[in-house]
Amino acid sequence: MRKIIVAIDGHSACGKSTTAKEVAKILGYFYVDSGAMYRAVTVYFLEHHVAITNPKEVNRALSKLKVSFKINPQGITETYLNGLNVERKIRKMKVSEWVSQVSAIKEVRDAMVEEQRRMGKKKGIVMDGRDIGSVVFPEAELKLFLTADLLVRAFRRQKELLERDELVDLDSVIENLRKRDEYDSSRKVSPLVKPKGAIVIDTTHVTIDEQVDEVVRLATGKIVQQP
Among 131, 148, 198, 212, binds ligand DC (CB under 6 A): 131
Can residue 12 be called a binding residue for ligand DC (CB under 6 A)?
yes
Q: Pick from 20, 46, 99, 126 the residue near ligand DC by CB under 6 A.
A: 99
DSSP class of residue 198 equals: P
55-94 mask for ligand DC (x: CB under 6 A)?
A: ----------------------------------------
CB of 27 to ligand DC, least distance (A): 20
Closer residue to ligand DC, CB minimum distance, 120 or 129: 129
Stretch binding ligand DC (CB under 6 A), from 19-27, 30-38, 60-68, 74-82: 30-38
Residues binding ligand DC: number (CB under 6 A): 14
Strands across the sheet with 77-81, in order?
67-71, 77-81, 84-85
CB nearer ligand DC, residue 24 or residue 132: 132
Which residue of 89, 130, 143, 153 would you call a contact of ligand DC, by CB under 6 A? 130
Determine whether 63 is exposed, middle or buried from the number of CB atoms within 10 Å of its CB (0-12, 13-18, 19+): exposed
Whether the CB-CB separation of 225 and 3 falls below 8 Å is answered with no
Strands (E), the chain: 5-10, 30-33, 67-71, 77-81, 84-85, 125-129, 142-147, 199-202
Does residue 34 bind ligand DC (CB under 6 A)? yes
Q: Binder to ligand DC among 21, 39, 89, 156 (CB under 6 A)?
A: 39
CA-nearest of 5, 43, 14, 2 to 177 is 14
Helix-helix angle 208-224:16-27, to 10 degrees: 50
Question: Binding of ligand DC at residue 31 (CB under 6 A)?
Answer: no
- Verify binding: residue 141, ligand DC, rule CB under 6 A: no
CB atoms within 10 A of CB 31: 21
Burial class (CB in 10 A: 0-12, 13-18, 19+), 171: exposed
Q: Which of residues 172-191 bind ligand DC (CB under 6 A)?
A: 180, 184
Which residue in 64, 71, 66 sits closest to 83, CA to CA? Answer: 66
Closest contact distance (angstroms) between CB of 74 and ligand DC is 20
CB nearer to ligand DC: pick between 134 and 141: 134
Q: How many CB atoms lie within 10 A of CB 216?
A: 16
Where do contacts with ligand DC occur on this chain (CB under 6 A)?
Answer: 12, 34-35, 38-39, 99-100, 103, 129-132, 180, 184
